Structure 1
Amino acid sequence: MEIDFAHPRGAVALTGPDSVSWRIFKNPVGLFIGGVTAVLLELAEPRVRAGVWDHTSFRTDPVTRLRRTGMAAMVTVYAPRETAEAMIAGVNRRHARVTGVTDCGQPYAADDTDLLDWVQATASFGFIHAYHAYVRALTSPERDQAWSEAAPAARLYGAHNAPSSEAEWRAVLAGMSPRLEASPVIREFLQIIRNAPAFPSVARAIQPMLVRAAVDLVPEDLRMKLGLQHDGLSAWERPVVRGMGRAADSLVLESMPAARASVRMGRPPDWLYRAAGPN
């Protein structure tokens, strides 16, 4: 996708440059961890699992799939509103063609509002809590704000009842929990994502640790239910991952969407990264 995040100057995004979301989505470590957590939670729901596993390229080309998903997140948060709305409309058109039946005979459709609500909820949970746990602790009001900031995009995706606060997330999770289940697909996904060349070769050795960090974010009782209780971080690994997350939060790459979008809004490219700024 060829997206110009720096133009047109002054064009507003779905969320503003002073938002919590702009802080969260600039961090590649948090995004990777949170994205894996979101997929784990999605794959625990049988209909979402069938839709993802049968109609996407996760098994055959996981890196391309991850990059597309990452770019969609960047466009949703940082791109001019019209660009984000056009991209989301395209995603919705593709979702409308995704239908099928699970192994247990449950029909599903990717544009089912119930499933869209869950997918949007898992994405927000993953990204917000990965940043909170491994980058910089967010206050309770900041986490609620991040949930609220995700709501306009969620509605564009068709998720009209996606949670817009931590309390609403907990209610959604409690309601969904009876439907969530362990599956060999979850194990297969973890194996794929540990080994896929998602990072440059010099950083690839840390990838399995970041996957374990993602497992650690799954609520404890659900980890037990999914059989993932032994797949999280060891005690010594947690501070290592936090160190990587904090280091990445200060790494200014002026070609990246967060920096380019800051320029579009009349801010310096390093504005989001300044220790004395919104962090």
Structure 2
Amino acid sequence: MHSGGLLAKWVKDLIQPDDAPGVDFGVPAGEPALAAPDSVSWRVFKNPVALFVGGVAAVILELAEPRVRTGVWEHSSFRRDPLPRLKRTGLAAMVTVYGPRSAAEAMIAGVRRMHDRVAGATPAGAAYRANDVDLLDWVQATASFGFLEAYHAYVAPLDAADRDRFYAEAAPAAALYGATGAPLSVAQWEAQLADRLPTLERSDIVFEFLDLMGRTALLPVPTRSLQRGLVRAAVAIVPPEVRAVLDLDRAWDLGPVEGRLARWAGRAADRLVIAGTPAVEACRRMGLPADYLYRR
């Protein structure tokens, strides 16, 4: 199913910061991305519902780690003006997955230079640096987990081999970011989570973040009533042991109607070939049909 018009404009606007130059994912012709067109990553990242739900789940996990939480909350505009920050994060994800390798490498190098200037201490006195490998590994792990689980839960189930492939496919980009110990499989993610769990802690910032995600105007007006349900869908895929640490109790459970709506939205979005989006333009760059990723 092909789509354009207002929906295409919304999807493109969602990842295009007002203060950043546009990125042309259609050139140069034939230049590969960090991940291949037949990868699980290209399949997952084309879906805007999986990206929103998975991104919220990933940030919940990131904010559970006190050093990451302090760095994100004190050194970004997220709290004051979340939409531009979300757009920059979304664009970075698209360039990392679909952009030509040269553009992805240049962008990631810029992110690393910016992170070199981010350092401080948590309220409890723990020092942190944004480019600390330990923290980068956790951020990369939570991102892979969030996007994968959102797609698996609300779009289409993925078998064990594809789930492992998704983690492994992130390795080239993770290494460029400096996350040299990011998980390469589901088993490695589970081991990393178990190892990290004793360091995670509850914070009111998590609830402030969830409130921001529920009320910031992210979705088109006709679908905005879905937004709070999608935030609950994100909470639903957070590992139960982390939910317990964060006090994300049953009040945050996904209701049956919300769950059906989330799955409907995720599956519907997976069939929409939206002209001009990174996934479609990247396929064109590689000489593939616009609907290549939508035939599965």
TM above 0.5: yes
C-alpha distance after superposition, 1:80-123 (max 9, x if no partner): 00000000000000000000111101111101100000000000
Counterparts of 2:267 and 2:224 in 1: how far apart (Å)?
18
1:214–1:232 CA contact under 8 A, matched in 2:
no
Does 1:212 pair with 2:253? Answer: no
Match of 1:163 in 2: 183
Aligned amino acid, residue 163 of structure 2: R
CA RMSD of aligned residues (A): 0.8
TM norm structure 1:
0.97
* Residue 169 of structure 2 corresponds to residue 149 of structure 1: yes
Corresponding residue for residue 270 of structure 2: 249
What whole-Å deviation, never above 9, does each CA across 1:61-87 have from its counterpart, x for those lacking one? 111111110110000000000000000
CA distance in 2, matches of 1:218, 1:234: 15
Kindly provide the amino acid, as one letter, of the partner of residue 133 in structure 2: T
Deviations 1:178-235 (A, max 9, x none): 0011101001111111101111222211110000000001011211111112213112
AA at the equivalent of 1:265: M
Gaps of 5+ in 2: 1-20
Match of 1:51 in 2: 71
Please give the alpha-carbon distance, in whole angstroms, between the structure 2 residues aligned to 1:91 and 1:203: 33
The residue type paired with residue 169 of structure 2 is E
Q: How does 1:1-279 map to 2 (within 5 A)?
A: 1-230=21-250, 231-274=252-295, 279=296
Structure 1 window deviating more from structure 2 (216-225 vs 12-21): it is 216-225
Q: Shift of residue 8 of structure 1?
A: 0.9
Question: For residue 194 of structure 2, what is the amino acid of its counterpart?
Answer: A
Q: Distance in 2 between matches of 1:36 and 1:163?
A: 20
Equivalent position SS for 2:120: strand
Give 1:239 deviation, angstroms.
1.9
Cα drift, residue 4 of structure 1: 1.1
Question: 2: distance between equivalents of 1:111 and 1:30?
Answer: 27
1:50 CA displacement: 0.1
Assess if the C-alpha contact under 8 Å between 1:254 and 1:270 holds in 2. Answer: no
Instruction: Provide the C-alpha distance between the structure 2 equivalents of 1:252 and 1:153, rounded to a whole number of angstroms.
Output: 26
| TM-score normalized by the length of structure 2 | 0.92
The total of aligned residue pairs comes to 275
Greater shift after overlay, 261-270 or 236-245?
A: 236-245
Look up the SS of the partner of 1:100 in the other structure. Answer: strand
> How far apart are 1:27 and its partner, in Å?
0.1
> Bigger shift: 190-199 or 165-174?
190-199
Identity percentage over the alignment?
A: 57
1:268, distance to aligned residue in structure 2 (A)? 1.0
User: Is the partner of 2:256 in helix, strand or coil?
Assistant: coil
Distance across 1 between alignment mates of 2:175 and 2:219? 32
Distance 1:84 1:202 in 2: 34
Q: Supply the distance in 2 between the matched residues of 1:59 and 1:47 (Cα, whole angstroms).
A: 17
Distance (whole Å) between structure 1 residues aligned to residue 270 and residue 220 of structure 2:
18
